[in-house]
Amino acid sequence: MRTITRSVSSNTRGLCMSVRTKRLLAVAAAGLTLVLLASTPATAGASQGGAFRPGAPGVGDPYFPGYGNGGYDVAHYDLNVKYVPATDQLTGHAVIRATATQNLSRFNLDFVGLTVDGIWVDGRRATWSRSGQELMITPARKLPRGRIFTVAVKYHGVPQTFTIPGTPILAGFMHTDDGAVVAGQPEVAASWYPVNDHPQDKASYTFTVTVPAGLEAICNGIPLGSHTANGWTTWRWAELTPMISYLSTATIGDFRIKRSFHHGQPMILAFDKDLPPLLADDALGRTAEITDFLAGKFGEYPFEANGGIVDDFDKLFFALENQTRTVYSKFFFDETTTTGETYVVAHELAHQWYGDSVGVQQWDDIWLNEGFATYAEWLWSERLGEGTPQEIFDFLYDQPLTEDYWAPPPGDPGVDQLFDATVYVRGAMTLHALRMTIGDADFRKVIRGWYARNRNGHGSTKEFINYAERVSGEQLDALFQAWLFTDTKPAYPGPAAQRTAAAPTAVPNVVRSFDKRYAAGWR
Ligand code: TRP
Ligand code: ZN
């Protein structure tokens, strides 16, 4: 499902033609050209959409040019997989429903490692070839623009585990002693199903996961029950709100599942049976409360289910905001009930609004995910009485430039520093600097409106800046230039009178929590 990026006027004084108007004019002009071309005999055979051509092998993301594909738009993934932990073998049958967005002679999916056993397009055998991450599919019949088609792919093999670039830290499809943890960013989905693997193409999902009886398979969204026969249990789940591929999970293990309802929505908390209940039950038990707190700040919770997963896996060092079902490292929790453990829950829940419902347009927009999620931790800190956002900002602002969160500037961190501390901390500081500049009331309007208008869609840094300018009526280019794109420490924002009388000298709890998670390998 590709959402049309909503454009906003790039100028608060309204001197220029808005981007939207320009785009509408361009579309109108293109339509005119098509009509003219269609009526000329030379191109009549191709009908609308020009000649039949292969879809592009990538969406053109500046950081990951090969991610995703062009020429079609996926609406739904119906994933049917069987996993055998003893042999690490996965057998899959994926049925993908998509719409051609150009006349297609062939198209690509992203798929890594596993062996393809057969591909059918609209029920007819298709041919394929592979090169790196690209699975190139030639359907028996060409696909005209606008055609809704299905691709069925049968496959098997041992899913490949990724490592986070530049580190030995595992990510993606991670094999555990009794199953698998499936969580990664940006790479995970293509290692267990064929996919249009870029945030720009959201889709709904249904999951059917078969595992040895006695194990559980936890996916996103709503539980549709399980049945057991002949030593196998099949678990079914549905995530019907559009989801970005990297947020899908099928985490398998021996879990103690706590089921409840929150405002009528399923709340599914899964804890590895090997973990003591004292470890994470307390912090994850606050999921409903923290969700409601954040909904008060950001707007209505985006999805139809909620929950979290904690596996007993020694090589998982991060959390990932899988839609409706965050996967958490067990290392973020301890056996005492402390507020420190709740910050990561607030962080991952905040991603449900910013990151999951409002996705990045391109991977260089990543600070919009991590800056918002980190800022949500600061809001939660205030609620806990452990420091206000202003106090936390002042504490961080006073630290020397040698602190790793100052560099590089978070607006364009580069592929190798996509998840550096700056994207989180200086990203959150950018939001607070905006708040100090435009005031609390307009800031609230900006963060709520950004979610409301981009819900189930995407947003880019440029659009965010334009939107903040439009809401506040202020020219904010210099502010964002300084905070997001300039190497030096930005000037202290807003009227100096807003500064906390004496910036805290003790490290705020939320900063301590972040540092601890970050040191554990959280990136
Ligand atoms: N986005 C995750 C979070 O903020 C952390 C993260 C960054 C991550 N890079 C990752 C998780 C790579 C898994 C793989 O909670
Ligand atoms: Zn995050």
SS (H, E, C) 283-352: HHCCHHHHHHHHHHHHCCCCCCCEEEEECCCCCCCCCECCCCCEEECHHHCCCCCCHHHHHHHHHHHHHH
Q: Separation of 348 CA from ligand 2 center, angstroms?
A: 6
Q: Separation of 125 CA from ligand 2 center, angstroms?
A: 42
Pocket test for ligand 1, best of 320, 322, 370 (most atoms within 8 A of CB): 320
Residue owning the nearest CA to atom 13 of ligand 1? 184
The two three-digit tokens of residue 522, written as one number: 């959280």
Distance CA 130, CA 151 (A): 16
Name residues of the chain where pLDDT drops below 70.
Answer: 1-48, 522-523
Q: Is the CB of 8 under 6 A from ligand 1?
A: no
Pocket test for ligand 1, best of 332, 419, 517 (most atoms within 8 A of CB): 419
- Residue of 245, 377, 422, 252 lying closest to 327 (CA atoms): 252
Q: Is the CB of 184 under 6 A from ligand 1?
A: yes
**Reported pTM:** 0.91
Please count the other Cβ atoms lying within 10 Å of the Cβ belonging to residue 232: 14
Q: Separation of 318 CA from ligand 2 center, angstroms?
A: 9
**Sign for the pseudo-dihedral over CA of 24, 30, 31, 33:** positive
CA dihedral 441, 445, 447, 452 (to 10 degrees): 160
Beta-carbon contacts of 520 under 8 Å, excluding residues fewer than 6 positions away, are: 317, 318, 329, 331, 332
pLDDT of residue 36: 36
pLDDT of residue 2: 60
Q: Which position has the token pair 């454009």?
A: 7
Q: Is the CB of 185 under 6 A from ligand 1?
A: yes
pLDDT of residue 503: 74
Residue 57's alpha-carbon distances to 89, 153, 254, 452, in angstroms, are 28, 18, 39, 32
Distance CA 450, CA 441 (A): 14
pLDDT of residue 262: 98
Q: Is the CB of 419 under 6 A from ligand 1?
A: yes
Q: Separation of 164 CA from ligand 1 center, angstroms?
A: 10
pLDDT of residue 380: 98
Distance CA 458, CA 361 (A): 5
103 Cα distance to chain centroid: 30
Q: Separation of 508 CA from ligand 1 center, angstroms?
A: 23
Q: Looking at the DSSP assignment, which residues form a beta bridge with residue 250?
A: 219
Residue owning the nearest CA to atom 14 of ligand 1? 184
Judge whether 242 and 458 are in contact, CB under 8 Å. no
Residue owning the nearest CA to atom 1 of ligand 1? 320
Q: Separation of 128 CA from ligand 1 center, angstroms?
A: 33
